[in-house]
Each structure stands twice: as C-alpha cells, then as structure tokens.
Chains A and B, each alone.
Chain A
Amino acid sequence: MKRFIGFIKKEFFHILRDRRSLFILFGMPIVQIMLFGFAITNEINNVDIAVLDHSKDDVTKEIIDKIAASKYFSIKAFIDNETAIEKVFEKGQIKAVLNFEPDFSRKLIAENGATVQILTDATDPNTANTISNYTGAILQKYQQELNQNVAISYQIVPQTRMVYNPELKSVFMFVPGVMTIILMLVSAMMTSISITREKELGTMEILLVSPLKPAQVIIGKVVPYVFLSVINAVIIIILSIFVFKMPVEGSLFLLGAESILFIINALSLGILISTISSTQQTAMMVSLMGLMLPVILLSGFIFPISSMPLPLQIISNAIPAKWFIIILKGIMLKGVGLAYLWKESLILVGMTLFFMAMSVKKYKIRLE
C-alpha cells in the first residue's frame, strides 16, 4: 500500500509538471463548457408572437394586454383558426402562438380552470423553451392577482407544446454529449499517453524489473486519472447546472455512480490503447481517431441515431458513449432511476469487463 501511494504521488508530479496535460485535464473541460455557455444565451427580447383567441372575452383580453406590455414579447398577428398556426410558423418570423380555448373566462370562473396552449417553434429549442417559461410566468402572475380578490382560486392551465422538435433537442442535449466527450478524452487519452510515455522513455522496463507486478504498475498509473476525471465530472455537472440551468431531475447519487462507471470504462479503453501503441504520438492518434470521432459522430451526440443509415445504427451500439449519453439524459432530463437504466448500465459494465480482459491478454503478449 505504501508503495502504491509513492507511485501515485509520482504520477501527480508528472501531471502537474506537464503544462500540456494540465491544459487537457482542466482547461479543455472549462473551455468547452464555456463555449457552449456563451454560444447559447437564455435571454429573450421582443420576440414576435401571434395570438389565436377563440374566446375573445375580458379575461383573455387582459392577459393579451399584459403579454403585449412585457418587454419580452411583441404581438405581431391575431389569427382566427388552427390552420393559420402552421402558416405563421412557416414564415419563420413568429416564434410562438398563444391559443386560448373557447369560453375562457366562463370556464375559469365556473369550472375553476381554463386552458391556454403555448405553441413554440422549437427549431430553435432553447429560445422555445425560454418563451414558454416566460409566458408561463406572466400567466401565473395574472392568476395570482386574480386570486387575491376572491375566495376560491381560479386556475389557468398553460399547455406548452413544442412544434417541429418535440424531443427538445437543445443545449440540454449537448451537455450530456460534452460531458461524455470530456470524460472520454481525459480518461482514455490521458491514461494511454501516460502509459506509453513510460514505454517510450524506457522507464517502463525499470518498473517491470522492480518487484511491482505489472497489474500494480497499470493500476498505479490509472488511479490518479480516476481521481482527476471524477473532479472533472463534478466541474462539468456544476457548470452545466449554473451555466445552462441544466436540471438534474433524477438522483445525484446515481449520476455520480454512472459517471464513475463510464470513467472506468474509458480508462480501460485507455489501457487497451496503450498496449497496442508504443509511442505517445500513436496513443494520441489512436485515441483521437478511434475514440473521439466515434463519440462525436456515432453516439447520437450530434446526429440523431434514429436518422442514421442502418449499418451505422448497428455500429453505434458498440460505442460506450452512446449508452452513457442515454443514461445521462435519463437521469438529468427525465429523472428516471436504475429501474429504467439497468440495461444501459449493464451494457457499460459488460463493455468495461471486456476491455479489461482484452488489455490483460494483450499486455501478457507484449511481455513474452
């Protein structure tokens, strides 16, 4: 155990004294997250909307006035039937349509609840999401004012619907992808480089001549990266919650556990890469070409898997990142637990064991 601590200390010296690896470790995640953070803003201003008022009563009129008065929206059109909705969206200028149901004020008072539909053009999903939040807030405020004056409470039920992009492919979809890429990069690339560096410099021989077992050498090299990757995952999660207002609907504990599982998966891939490459350069190229590209192209991060050609859809199953992204989305956006994600988790566990077994096998061959 003492030998081990010495080994890990030495590994930290390597990392802390190498500016390049320091940058990849901590600079990259922050830069990447910030790039997304600045590229996608959450503010909206004077967005053009249209109103479809089936009711045309005092209440709807009051609500419409309130919305028109806010600095966030300007009402550009009044339409009178459902078919017109699509037309205004197609022109592209109108970003949202408010659809008040018939008999709005009577229902509100007699049945204690009336519905307004908020339709948003979700081709720009982030804006769409913000719009529906803002209109929702205005409605809520109006409702509170209304309820102050009477004993019973009236409820306006806003029904939001995203048109064109019902899955809400947005920044929320990117965060899991960015997190996956960063963890893959740090864990797999950095470990494979640090192991091949010892081979390249010749110090690996010295380690193998020492009483340390080969497995101990590898574990000693990997442990610091588990630690650093976990820190990275925490940084990413914190940044995404505060920069992107990313929700974490599910269990934080499960999120952490799944992240560690994925980190170990990536590390075992890194070890596998180091067994087949003899120079740092090769390790880096193999990591980039063999891991980064598939993660970016085939994991569903940028291109939806369902719209890929069938052969690529099949290949995508072999990519750990795909399963991790599903898990992340499940936990963060849908708030589901292990009951729904056990299959994906099991696949990741299986892949990890497979990579580990492969590296052990390859590693032995190299020592022959």
Chain B
Amino acid sequence: MTNENAITVKNLTKTFGDFTAVDAISFEVGKGEVFGFLGANGAGKTTAMKMLIGISKPTKGEANVAGFDVRTQAEDIKKSIGYMSQRFSLYNDLTIKENIVFFGGIYGLKKSVIKAKSKNLIDELGLHDEADKLVGSLPLGWKQKVSFSVALLHDPKIIFLDEPTGGVDPITRRQFWEMIYREANNGKTIFVTTHYMDEAEYCDRVSIMVAGKIEALDTPKNLKEKYKVDSMNKVFLKLARNIE
C-alpha cells in the first residue's frame, strides 16, 4: 500500500453472525483531507471506524492507517491517531483539568508538556472559570469541544470523530467545525461521521454508506452535479431512497 494516503481501505468487511454490518468497503483518504463518512443510522459507520482505529478485528479485507496495518500493527496505529467516540469520551466525575492530566498521562506525555497544553487548551476555549468544575456539569457543546481538544493532546496525525456534533446547537457546531478546519490546516487528516448535511458540505470529500456498502464517494460539488440536485441533503435522500 502507498504511503501517500493517510488511510487506505480495501474490501473491509465486518460480520456479526449472519449479519454483515460493513460490506466490502474500499476507499482512500489523503493526507490533510477532511473526509466525511456519511450514512443513515445503522449503516455501519461506527463499526467501520472501530476497525480503522484497531479496536475491532476485520472479518475480511485490509486497511492501512497512518502507514500501519490494522490487523498486525494496531499498537502503532494507536499512537498516531486521536479518537472521539460517538458516546461521550471524557469522565463526567473528573474536572476538565483532571481529564486533561489523565489522558495526557496515559499517552505518556511529560508533566511539563501536559501543563503547557492544558493551559493552552483552557485559554483557547475560554474555560478559565470551568477548568476545575466537573465535566458532568458542563453543557454538551462545551464537553464536545473539550473532548476534541483532549483527543488532540498527543498530537496525532489522523483524527477520527464519530458524530462529534450530535445534539449540539448550530452556533457551537459552527465553532466546532472551525476547530476541525484549524487542525486540517495544520496538516492533520480528519475522518468524521455526521448526520448533519450542512456539515457534509464542509468536507473535502464525502462517502455515503447505505446498509454496509459505500454507494457514493466524491467531493460534495461533484456529487450534487452527478445527482442533479442543489444540496447534499438531497443527494443523501436520493441515494437512501434508491436503495429501498
């Protein structure tokens, strides 16, 4: 596999018993790209992502992430990626600072580095008054921003975000995407799933997954032209309807 791409996937498949959750998907994600991984509920997005981050073994197929094979080099992948799970990724009963110290610690960052990063992060998000409050008491939008920053602590090359903005208000979603762009401009690769089609428009390229298969993959502009519609929302509906 080439080293040009951040992620290369070939015929990746995952079955649970008789049920095929991810059905031979293939795609590539370039370095520094913001890649939108779309699909309806239950399409198989989270399942595919878990194989890419090395916590779920593929049933069939291959995948290479950050130059490492997901089957044999999962430990190396872990050091090169950041991950925000669809479920909440911080500890509610720890304060923001304690969360930062903990996650910095398990990635083996030095104390001084953690301290500097933690100050940076709190400055950037303007959370001085909340830094010593329990995460559980924060509004969801803030939690997600902190969560994203924590996933970046160890300076990963690729960031996997599983519905990072689910349930978050539009203004905060906008701010969140500004953070994503900033990281992409810093050369990081972003692999993101979302159910918001306006967010799909922000991506460099998107894939649309239906029932375990990737049905379309291109830039938002090309997809709209191909399906002769004026929004990603309509592209999505058209694809989902065609299948049924």
Residues of A in contact with B (beta carbons under 8 Å apart)? 2-3, 6-7, 9-10, 13-14, 17-18, 201-203, 205-212, 367-368
CB < 8 Å: which of A7, A10, A202 contacts B88? Answer: A202
In the assembled complex, the CB of A19 is this many whole angstroms from the nearest CB of chain B, namely 11
Query: Which residues does chain B contribute within 8 Å of A10, judged by CB atoms?
Result: 91, 94, 98, 102
A355 to B83, CA, bound (A): 32
| Contact of B85 with A205 in the complex, beta carbons under 8 Å | yes
Query: Which residues does chain B contribute within 8 Å of A201, judged by CB atoms?
Result: 87-88, 92
CB < 8 Å: which of B57, B78, B90, B94 contacts A209? Answer: B78
Residue among B81, B86, B89, B134 with the highest chain A CB neighbour number at 10 A: B89
CB < 8 Å: which of B50, B54, B56, B93 contacts A13? Answer: B93
A337 to B53, CA, bound (A): 53
| Contact of A206 with B102 in the complex, beta carbons under 8 Å | no
A203 to B53, CA, bound (A): 15
| Contact of A18 with B85 in the complex, beta carbons under 8 Å | no
Residue among B54, B56, B81, B87 with the highest chain A CB neighbour number at 10 A: B87
Query: Which residues does chain B contribute within 8 Å of A9, judged by CB atoms?
Result: 102
In the assembled complex, the CB of B181 is this many whole angstroms from the nearest CB of chain A, namely 23
A203 to B55, CA, bound (A): 13
The 4 closest A-B pairs by CB, nearest first: A202-B87, A6-B105, A209-B83, A10-B102
In the assembled complex, the CB of A322 is this many whole angstroms from the nearest CB of chain B, namely 37
| Contact of A368 with B57 in the complex, beta carbons under 8 Å | yes
State whether A2 and B105 are in contact (beta carbons under 8 Å apart), knowing that A17-B93, A202-B89 are contacts in the complex: yes
| Contact of B91 with A203 in the complex, beta carbons under 8 Å | yes
Q: Interface extent on B, as a size class?
A: 20 to 34
A203 to B89, CA, bound (A): 6
Of all chain A residues, the one with the shortest Cβ separation from B99 is A10
State whether A211 and B78 are in contact (beta carbons under 8 Å apart), knowing that A3-B106, A6-B102, A13-B98 are contacts in the complex: yes
| Contact of B102 with A211 in the complex, beta carbons under 8 Å | no
CB < 8 Å: which of A14, A17, A208 contacts B55? Answer: A208
| Contact of B79 with A3 in the complex, beta carbons under 8 Å | no
Of all chain A residues, the one with the shortest Cβ separation from B59 is A368
Residue among B56, B85, B101 with the highest chain A CB neighbour number at 10 A: B85
In the assembled complex, the CB of A279 is this many whole angstroms from the nearest CB of chain B, namely 13
In the assembled complex, the CB of A230 is this many whole angstroms from the nearest CB of chain B, namely 24
Q: Does B108 contact A (CB under 8 A)?
A: yes
CB < 8 Å: which of A3, A13, A202 contacts B105? Answer: A3
Query: Which residues does chain A contribute within 8 Å of B27, judged by CB atoms?
Result: none
Given contacts A7-B106, A13-B91, A203-B88, list 5 more A-B pairs with CB under 8 A: A9-B102, A205-B50, A210-B103, A210-B107, A211-B106
Residue pairs across A and B with Cβ atoms less than 8 A apart, 30 shown, are A2-B105, A3-B105, A3-B108, A9-B102, A10-B91, A10-B94, A13-B91, A13-B93, A13-B94, A14-B91, A17-B93, A17-B134, A18-B93, A201-B87, A201-B88, A202-B85, A202-B86, A202-B88, A203-B90, A205-B55, A206-B89, A207-B106, A209-B78, A209-B81, A210-B103, A210-B106, A211-B78, A211-B108, A367-B57, A368-B56
